[in-house]
């Protein structure tokens, strides 16, 4: 069940994973493999600044 398309979070194309919490389809970069939650749902780090760690 590999779904490919555009990440709902960063817009990158590639294999997508479905967030357990919000149902968004995001790329491997934007999902937490352990929690299966996207970065938006995962923690409060998105709050107070959109800093992308690269």
Does 29 interact with Zn ion (rule: CB under 5 A)? Answer: yes
Q: Which of 4, 5, 15, 22 binds Zn ion (CB under 5 A)?
A: 22
Query: Measured from the CB atom, is 1 or 30 closer to Zn ion?
Result: 30
DSSP, collapsed to helix, strand or coil, labels residue 8 as: coil
Residue 25 as a binder of Zn ion (CB under 5 A): the answer is no
Q: Tokens in use for 42?
A: 């995962």
* DSSP per-residue string spanning 13-49: EEEEEE-TTT--EEETTTEETTTTEEHHHH-GGGTT-
Residues that bind Zn ion (CB under 5 A): 7, 9-10, 12, 19, 21-22, 26-27, 29-30, 38, 40-41
């Amino acid at each position: 069940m590999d779904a490919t398309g555009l990440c709902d979070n960063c817009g990158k194309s590639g294999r997508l994973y479905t967030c357990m919490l919000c149902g968004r389809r995001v790329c491997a970069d934007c999902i937490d493999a352990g929690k299966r939650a996207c970065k938006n749902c995962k923690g409060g780090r998105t709050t107070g600044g959109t800093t992308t760690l690269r």
